[in-house]
Amino acid sequence: MIGMDRHTGRKIGGSDHIRQSVADLLSTRIGARVMRRDYGSEAVDLIDQPGNGEAVLRRYVAIAEALDRFEPRVTLRGFTLTSMAADGAAVIGVSLAEIATGREYSVEVVA
C-alpha cells in the first residue's frame, strides 16, 4: 500500500507506511476521528495509570486489540517494556511481522 508521509508529504510504502500507520493508530484516542469514531486505541487513555503489572498488561491488551482490529497487514509477535516513568508513562516496544513479506520489525509506543 502506498501512502503519504505525515511529515514530508512524500509517498511512502511498505514497512515505512505500516510503521507510520501503527504509530497513528496507537496514539489516537477512540472517538477522536470525526468520520471514524471507533478508530484508535485505549492505550492512550492508560498513560497516567500506575506502573504496576496489571496496568502494563492492560496497555498490552489495548495495543493488541487495536492492531487486530485496524491493521490487517501485520501480525503481532510480542511486547517489550522498554521503560516505565514514575508518572506511569511507559515506552513499549511492539514486535510485528508484515504478513505480505514476513519481514519483522519493532515500533516503540508511549502508552
The angle formed by the CA atoms of residues 24, 76 and 15, to the nearest 5 degrees, is 55
Interval 58-91: pLDDT, tens: 999 999 999 999 999 999 999 999 888 777 678 8
Q: What is the dihedral of CA 67, 92, 30, 21, to 10 degrees?
A: -50
The residue behind cell 509506543 is 109
The class level of CATH for 2-110 reads: alpha beta
Interval 38-53: pLDDT, tens: 999 999 888 878 778 8
Contact (CB, 8 A) for 80 and 92: yes
pTM of the model: 0.88
Q: What local confidence, expressed as pLDDT, does residue 15 receive?
A: 87
Per-residue pLDDT band at 1 (split at 50, 70, 90):
confident
Q: Is the pLDDT of residue 6 over 90?
A: no
Three-state DSSP state, 102:
coil
Buried b (16+ CB within 10 A) or exposed e, 70-95: bbebbeeeebeeeebeeebebebebe
